[in-house]
């Protein structure tokens, strides 16, 4: 079978690329070896974790926050099996939805494992497909610690933690990054004792440090325990899980019923035949590309977690659409400066643009200000007034450099600053824009006013 474009990998990068190729008149197919489309994000990542985060947050809020509103009930009873079944239902709805989108856009789904054969051929379990262009979008996989291989009973990757059959009594979490704090929050809310062991001296290192600090304080208040600057040296699985750690000169043992290893992800290209096809990878396994997503083989492109950059579903989708447009002869652009980053904890954290640490590293002349949700009327009405909006702007041009939000609905609120950064707006343009009252978003306007010392409500 001959195609204009063959996409390998059916995640948010790959399926978006295949659909856009078809929309632009290219005969396209997507090769995916899972039984369902959607990749890590839909099957074992963003979507199932958000379903469980929402369910567990609902139970936890009823238990811990409803009383403040004068609502009293018995402690919620958790039917974990039902909660997991709901999550699976949500996932199934979306994966089938992608199949529907493929049909609508006339994208063929070829189910099976792809092996590159030369520059224009792909072998899918014995059948050869030909294409003028190939897009690699095979994503990433969790990194395991050498002495702690995943078996998804006691030693869990994010995939294992999303498919547990029972709530562990005590869950150890190695790595307090985004996956660690999100899944740790789920199980802590459902009754587990959750203990984090983090190598660095702060949690969630990809965010502005003010967000990391605020979140750590809040998660500690919710009952989670953090051991920062701790390196895990060894593990013993003979009885539950026992981890030997080192912090400075001090060695300690931590025990639990299960351990979630959330120390990052690495590019996944197993069995793809990259070297045989002449596609070069760097020392970490990322496929090397130029500014047009072209690999060392001119007709083969690569996007998403398989290439350098933040491992985010929306970044992969942007790249998928861009590469399709490029192949079709357009001149697309992915704006890496305005890609938002979110952790769906409670409160949420979200950031876009430069962190203050990055602004300092670049020796930029900037001004920064924060506006607290305690001074925001809607947040006070809702009883969700923890946190703040922080804005950085260039001192002279007053152009926005970064916006960082710690608070309820941060994942949604970040959309406005993302648009503002994408359009290279100034703080003035942000605060001159009317914001409905009362809304959480007024905190963004007030933070913008605060950058040059003019808040109204502080």
Active-site positions?
437
- Among the residue ranges 81-89, 199-207, 284-292, 382-390, the one whose residues contact ligand NAI (CB under 6 A): 199-207
Start-end of H helices in 305-414: 313-327, 356-361, 377-382, 410-413
Integer-rounded Cα Rg, in Å, for the chain is 23
Tell me: does residue 350 bind ligand NAI (CB under 6 A): no
User: DSSP label at 75?
Assistant: P
Tell me: does residue 177 bind ligand NAI (CB under 6 A): yes
* Cβ nearer to ligand NAI, comparing 175 with 372: 175
Nearest residue (beta carbon) to ligand NAI: 177
Q: How far apart are CA 66 and CA 420, in angstroms?
A: 36
Tell me: does residue 178 bind ligand NAI (CB under 6 A): yes
Tell me: does residue 144 bind ligand NAI (CB under 6 A): no
Tell me: does residue 175 bind ligand NAI (CB under 6 A): yes
Tell me: does residue 447 bind ligand NAI (CB under 6 A): no
* Cβ nearer to ligand NAI, comparing 201 with 432: 201
Tell me: does residue 54 bind ligand NAI (CB under 6 A): no
Q: How far apart are CA 38 and CA 243, in angstroms?
A: 35
Measure Cα distances from 203 to 130, 178, 372 in Å: 46, 9, 21
The residue with tokens 């933690």 is: 161
Tell me: does residue 265 bind ligand NAI (CB under 6 A): yes
- Among the residue ranges 113-121, 270-278, 329-337, 340-348, the one whose residues contact ligand NAI (CB under 6 A): 340-348
Tell me: does residue 262 bind ligand NAI (CB under 6 A): yes
How many residues form the binding site for ligand NAI (CB under 6 A)?
27
Structure tokens, 13: 């990068």
Strands 231-236 and 241-247: antiparallel
Residue from 37, 114, 197, 324 touching ligand NAI (CB under 6 A): that is 197
| φ/ψ of residue 124, rounded to 5 | -110, 95
Strands 108-111 and 127-136: unpaired
The residue with tokens 């035949």 is: 273
With contact defined as beta carbons under 8 Å apart, do 31 and 121 qualify? no
Tell me: does residue 176 bind ligand NAI (CB under 6 A): yes
Instruction: Write the CB contacts of 104 (distance below 8 Å, at least 6 apart in sequence).
Output: none
Tell me: does residue 98 bind ligand NAI (CB under 6 A): no
- Among the residue ranges 58-66, 116-124, 307-315, 383-391, the one whose residues contact ligand NAI (CB under 6 A): 307-315
Q: How far apart are CA 392 and CA 402, in angstroms?
A: 5
- Among the residue ranges 98-106, 258-266, 384-392, 445-453, the one whose residues contact ligand NAI (CB under 6 A): 258-266
Tell me: does residue 198 bind ligand NAI (CB under 6 A): yes
Tell me: does residue 304 bind ligand NAI (CB under 6 A): no
Tell me: does residue 150 bind ligand NAI (CB under 6 A): no
- DSSP secondary structure letters along 203-256: S-TTS-HHHHHHHHHHHHHTT-EEE-S-EEEEEE-SSSEEEEEEETTEEEEEEE
Start-end of H helices in 65-197: 80-105, 158-161, 178-189
The residue with tokens 């808040």 is: 455
* Cβ nearer to ligand NAI, comparing 20 with 265: 265
Residue from 62, 92, 200, 382 touching ligand NAI (CB under 6 A): that is 200
Tell me: does residue 179 bind ligand NAI (CB under 6 A): yes
Closest distance between ligand NAI and the C-beta of residue 217, in Å?
A: 17
State the residues that interact with ligand NAI by CB under 6 A.
145, 174-180, 182, 197-200, 205-206, 231-232, 262-265, 310-312, 342-344
């Amino acid at each position: 079978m001959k195609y204009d474009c063959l996409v390998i990998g059916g995640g948010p990068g790959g399926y978006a690329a295949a659909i856009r190729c078809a929309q632009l008149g290219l005969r396209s197919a997507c090769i995916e070896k899972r039984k369902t489309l959607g990749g890590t994000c839909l099957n074992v990542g963003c979507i199932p974790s958000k379903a469980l985060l929402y369910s567990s947050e609902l139970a936890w809020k009823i238990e811990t926050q409803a009383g403040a509103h004068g609502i009293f009930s018995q402690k919620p009873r958790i039917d974990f099996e039902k909660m997991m079944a709901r999550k699976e239902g949500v996932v199934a709805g979306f994966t089938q939805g992608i199949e529907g989108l493929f049909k609508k856009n006339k994208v063929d789904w070829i189910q099976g494992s792809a092996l590159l054969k030369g520059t224009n051929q792909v072998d899918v379990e014995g059948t050869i497909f030909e294409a003028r262009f190939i897009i690699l979008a095979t994503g990433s996989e969790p990194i395991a610690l050498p002495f702690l291989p995943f078996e998804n009973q006691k030693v869990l990757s994010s995939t294992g933690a999303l498919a547990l059959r029972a709530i562990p009594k005590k869950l150890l979490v190695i790595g307090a990054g985004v996956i660690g704090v999100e899944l740790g929050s789920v199980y802590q809310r459902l009754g587990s004792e959750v203990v984090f062991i983090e190598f660095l001296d702060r949690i969630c290192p990809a965010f502005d440090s003010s967000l990391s600090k605020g979140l750590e304080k809040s998660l500690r208040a919710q009952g989670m325990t953090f051991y920062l600057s701790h390196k895990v040296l060894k593990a013993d699985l003979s009885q539950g899980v026992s981890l030997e750690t080192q912090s400075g000169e001090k060695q300690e043992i931590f025990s639990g019923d299960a351990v979630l290893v959330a120390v990052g992800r690495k590019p996944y290209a197993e069995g793809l035949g990259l070297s045989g096809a002449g596609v070069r990878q760097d020392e970490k396994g990322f496929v090397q590309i130029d500014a047009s997503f072209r690999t060392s083989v001119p007709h083969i492109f690569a996007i998403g977690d398989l290439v350098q950059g933040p491992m985010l579903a929306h970044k992969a989708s942007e790249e998928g659409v861009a590469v399709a447009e490029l192949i079709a002869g357009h001149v697309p652009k992915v704006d890496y400066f305005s890609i938002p980053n979110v952790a769906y904890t409670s409160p949420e954290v979200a950031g876009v643009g430069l962190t203050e640490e990055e602004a300092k590293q670049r020796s930029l002349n900037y001004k920064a200000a924060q506006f607290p949700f305690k001074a925001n009327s809607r947040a006070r009405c809702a009883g969700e007034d923890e946190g703040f909006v922080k804005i950085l702007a260039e001192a002279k041009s007053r152009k926005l450099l970064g916006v960082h939000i710690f608070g309820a609905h941060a994942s949604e609120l970040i959309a406005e600053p993302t648009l503002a950064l994408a359009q290279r707006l100034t703080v003035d343009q942000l605060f001159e824009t009317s914001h409905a009252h009362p809304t959480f978003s007024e905190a963004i306007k007030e933070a913008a006013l605060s950058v040059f010392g003019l808040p109204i409500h502080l």
